Amino acid sequence: MAGVADRLRESEIPQVALVNLSALVIMADWIASNEAYFPLYPVGTSPVEDSASRVAAAWAALDFPSRWELNPDDDSASMSFADRFGLPAGALPNAVQAAALNLASEVSGPSMMIIEAAMGLGKTEAALGAAEALARRTGAGGIFVGLPTQATTDGMFPRVLAWADSLDQRSSVYLAHGKAALNPVFERMLDEARYAGIGADGADENRGGEDLVAHAWLSDRRRGPLASLVVGTIDQALFGALRSRHLMLRHLAFAGKVVILDEVHSADDFMAPYLDRMLHWMGAHGASVILLSATLPEARRVAMAQAYSSGRKVAQGLRSGRAARGIDRFAELRGDIGYPAITVVSDAGDPRAVSPSPGDGARRTEVHLEHIADDDAALIETLRAALAEGGCAGVIHNTVGRVQHTAGVLRKAFPDTPVIIAHSRYLAADRIARDSLLLDLFGHPRRATARPARAILVASQVAEQSLDIDLDILISDLAPVDLLFQRVGRLHRHQRGVGQDDRPAPLRVPRLLITGVDWETEPPTPSKTYTSIYAPYLLLRTLLELRGRNSLTVPDDVAPLVQGVYGEQGDVPAEWSEALAVSLGALNADRDDRARRAEAFLLAEARPSGLLGWASDGIGTLREEISGRAGVRDGEETFEVLVLWTDPDGALTVPPWLSALPQPIPLNAVPNRALVRLIRGTALRLPAQLCRPHQIDGHIQELEACYPVPQWHASYDLRHELVLVFDHQGCARLGEYALTYDHINGLEVTDVRTGNSHRRTEL
């Protein structure tokens, strides 16, 4: 050992190697200090077994899965695309999917691929197929799939499992987000403890699905991302660029994997530096990356390519970040690169862009573009005419308040038509149930077998991305053009009959109607209720690009319009110039401020060697996912509560609709495991309205002072949680706010200081 230490002392070990070695030391320390694997002996007694025997027993108890590795010569690699993804027999990959598979099969080392293609074109299948090819060629040790939200992550989890199950490769599995224990698929994997089957005879052809297992030691939130197959929120990747304790483990979790990140356009000006820095580190670690988006502004495409490329230079021992004088290595990624497009960044030459020809049979959708006044009467009149012969309409608003108001109005105007709400202010269990309901009603024809003859969905941005719902007509608040296209992705998403003739006759041509704008001014004026959500400049640029249009063609118009909004501003009408100039100045100032705040805890770029100071001055331990989220997402500070109910007699219960039988809360004992799960399913994130800087501390103190179940402090799962109690009518009070909750409408908030009486929306 002394000789090894001397050689290490004299060697210049790459920084990425030191990071990963440090992570392994942390893992070894956790295992060695775990009494379940290394039982302690009473004081004064001697071990009855030698050290080698103790280590062997501990290793057998851990029962780690073998390394995840796809054999490049395995016959399963030639499994048909249709069989791999459960498609109809004989189905072939489309042009984008085929191009992605071909490009992935050509690379010889770590690489990054950006797939830009229209909504509903099968980017997920393209990414998983390309990830398999990359893993076979590069010897990757696993797959990570990251999505924007917990809801979209839960929706993707079974799809990734189905793909992984077809690989005939034993995989330890982890679902990485704060509410993973509430996911029924992952919960079943944990409960069944099928990790014991990993060590079974590989020749057994009747393993009953045990190729995909939740390993006990890899089911902890800190260790789970080390599993070979991980599906989680994109925050799990962004945390890797945030200086914090145990950061090495996060890097080890990505080192050597193929990393798929979906909907990367959702990274705003605050999140983008963290995403770019983590792409840099993934390049340095030798992880291959696949990024998915409907389309990207040129600046973001180039920035992500530069970040990954600079990491690869560090890995190769080259200088990072500076191109040769006068040579732009990323020139091919600028300007019009075609659409759909696939960008490839690898060690073999300069980054390049490929635009696969969609072919004559590719689907093109012409969406009629209209606008309506921003008032209830215009909305009711439009929907009444559109749904005269039936159909499923969608209304997407930019704030939850608008969603709840509109739903109440429409329920009165259409008493015989189901009006379904979807937004973010639901208990965790209710949110999961609501997402499932949306897929049952409006999802793919194979799932939504009971699609209603007439219905109206009123939703916030939760219906904007990664949710496979299909609407006949869509009314949407104004949003930046790339997000409008995301919303259009929910419109005529699937083919229903020949020429869409399974839809009502008036709705066989897709229509997008934009509201939330005063159309009588020049330029039109976006509603002030959501100009704090989207930059007014981007809204104005969107209106300018759409000016005079009466249709949108998908995919042809996607890239040109996105580049038009996010690119350099050209000549504008005189009456627009002042509003654009003022809003551009505000946007630039806001971007500078966000960049400064993001830099405060941003991990430095990788260095050739040395580890001292690489993550100093961090934010401390990320106790929960939300603690880290505050570091990588730029939103108002909010907090989460657990929601309890009181029955008419005043006894505490779980909200009654969450269980077929009453679930009273014991006051003098820790709840059993089943009840703990129900209680954790009541998690509710309070809106920013209740968490403003001058109020949040007072509200937290009020909840702490009224903590109803002191015995929970003895529960590992429930301690440190705040509790908000509603009465049997679903009403509560927090400071100067009156709250109501039901599982149909979600949480509604009224400021009693305004003098307006609090009224529940009628069910």
Q: Confidence band (pLDDT; 50, 70, 90) for 544? A: very high
Supply the pTM of this predicted model. 0.85
426 CB burial (10 A radius; 0-12, 13-18, 19+): buried
What is the pLDDT, as a whole number, of residue 196?
A: 45
Secondary structure (3-state) at 229: strand
258 has pLDDT over 80: yes
What is the pLDDT, as a whole number, of residue 755?
A: 47
- Which value, to the nearest 10 degrees, does the dihedral of the CA atoms of residues 340, 344, 345, 348 take? -150
What is the pLDDT, as a whole number, of residue 336?
A: 85
CA 642/CA 179 separation, integer angstroms: 13
217 has pLDDT over 60: yes
| Cβ pair 169, 70 in contact under 8 A | yes
533 has pLDDT over 60: yes
| pLDDT tens digits, 335-369 | 889 899 999 999 988 999 999 987 656 778 899 99
What is the pLDDT, as a whole number, of residue 201?
A: 41
Q: Confidence band (pLDDT; 50, 70, 90) for 622? A: very low
Secondary structure (3-state) at 38: coil
CA 126/CA 341 separation, integer angstroms: 13
| pLDDT tens digits, 125-152 | 999 999 999 999 899 999 999 998 887 8
Average pLDDT value over all residues in the chain: 85
What is the pLDDT, as a whole number, of residue 616?
A: 60
Average pLDDT over residues 183-193: 74
Average pLDDT over residues 620-648: 63
Average pLDDT over residues 162-172: 85
C-alpha to C-alpha distances, 443 to 132, 167, 364, 469, 569, nearest whole angstrom: 28, 27, 20, 4, 39
Secondary structure (3-state) at 110: coil
Average pLDDT over residues 156-166: 89
CA 280/CA 698 separation, integer angstroms: 41
Average pLDDT over residues 118-128: 89
Q: How far is CA 309 from the centre of its chain?
A: 24
C-alpha to C-alpha distances, 390 to 362, 443, 450, 473, 506, nearest whole angstrom: 29, 17, 14, 11, 9
What is the pLDDT, as a whole number, of residue 316?
A: 87
Q: Where are the domains of the chain?
A: 365-554, 636-754
Q: Confidence band (pLDDT; 50, 70, 90) for 8? A: low
| ∠ Cα 661 158 272 (to 5°) | 110
| Cβ pair 529, 398 in contact under 8 A | yes
CA 218/CA 252 separation, integer angstroms: 13
CA 690/CA 3 separation, integer angstroms: 61
| Cβ pair 607, 249 in contact under 8 A | no
CA 682/CA 690 separation, integer angstroms: 18
What is the pLDDT, as a whole number, of residue 200?
A: 40
Domain 365-554 in CATH 3.40.50.300? The answer is: yes
Average pLDDT over residues 78-99: 84
317 has pLDDT over 90: no
CA 752/CA 598 separation, integer angstroms: 36
| pLDDT tens digits, 683-716 | 999 998 888 878 888 898 999 888 888 888 888 7
What is the pLDDT, as a whole number, of residue 437?
A: 92
What is the pLDDT, as a whole number, of residue 523?
A: 96
- Helices (H) and strands (E) counted in the chain, each on its own, are 22, 25
Question: Quick one: which of 37, 62, 57, 52 has its CA closest to 226?
Answer: 62
CA 385/CA 148 separation, integer angstroms: 36
Which pair of structure tokens corresponds to residue 383? 């929907």
Question: Quick one: which of 361, 366, 343 has its CA closest to 290?
Answer: 343
CA 448/CA 443 separation, integer angstroms: 5
What is the pLDDT, as a whole number, of residue 485?
A: 93
Secondary structure (3-state) at 323: coil
What is the pLDDT, as a whole number, of residue 208?
A: 40
Task: Give, as one character, the DSSP assignment of residue 217.
Answer: G
- Residue 436 CB contacts under 8 Å (≥ 6 apart), including other chains: none
| Cβ pair 371, 517 in contact under 8 A | yes
Which pair of structure tokens corresponds to residue 495? 């083919």
Average pLDDT over residues 642-661: 92
Which pair of structure tokens corresponds to residue 709? 């179940």
CA 574/CA 132 separation, integer angstroms: 53
What is the pLDDT, as a whole number, of residue 206?
A: 40
Which helix (H) or strand (E) is 396 found in, with range?
strand 391-396
758 has pLDDT over 50: no
Q: Confidence band (pLDDT; 50, 70, 90) for 626? A: very low
717 has pLDDT over 50: yes
207 has pLDDT over 50: no
201 CB burial (10 A radius; 0-12, 13-18, 19+): exposed
| Cβ pair 200, 208 in contact under 8 A | no
Average pLDDT over residues 5-32: 82
708 CB burial (10 A radius; 0-12, 13-18, 19+): middle
C-alpha to C-alpha distances, 5 to 1, 10, 12, 20, 691, nearest whole angstrom: 6, 9, 13, 18, 53
Handedness of CA 517, 520, 523, 525 (dihedral sign): negative
Which helix (H) or strand (E) is 249 found in, with range?
helix 247-254
What is the pLDDT, as a whole number, of residue 266?
A: 75
* 316 φ, ψ (degrees, to nearest 5): -90, 0
198 has pLDDT over 50: no
Amino acid found at 426: Y
* 438 φ, ψ (degrees, to nearest 5): -60, -40
Q: Are strands 391-396 and 419-422 parallel, antiparallel or unpaired?
A: unpaired
Integer distance in angstroms from the first to the last C-alpha of the chain?
A: 72
% residues pLDDT > 70 (the chain): 89
C-alpha to C-alpha distances, 24 to 107, 253, 606, 616, nearest whole angstrom: 29, 11, 19, 20
| pLDDT tens digits, 546-589 | 999 999 999 889 989 999 999 888 889 999 999 999 999 999 99
What is the pLDDT, as a whole number, of residue 111?
A: 96
What is the pLDDT, as a whole number, of residue 709?
A: 86
215 has pLDDT over 80: no
What is the pLDDT, as a whole number, of residue 624?
A: 39
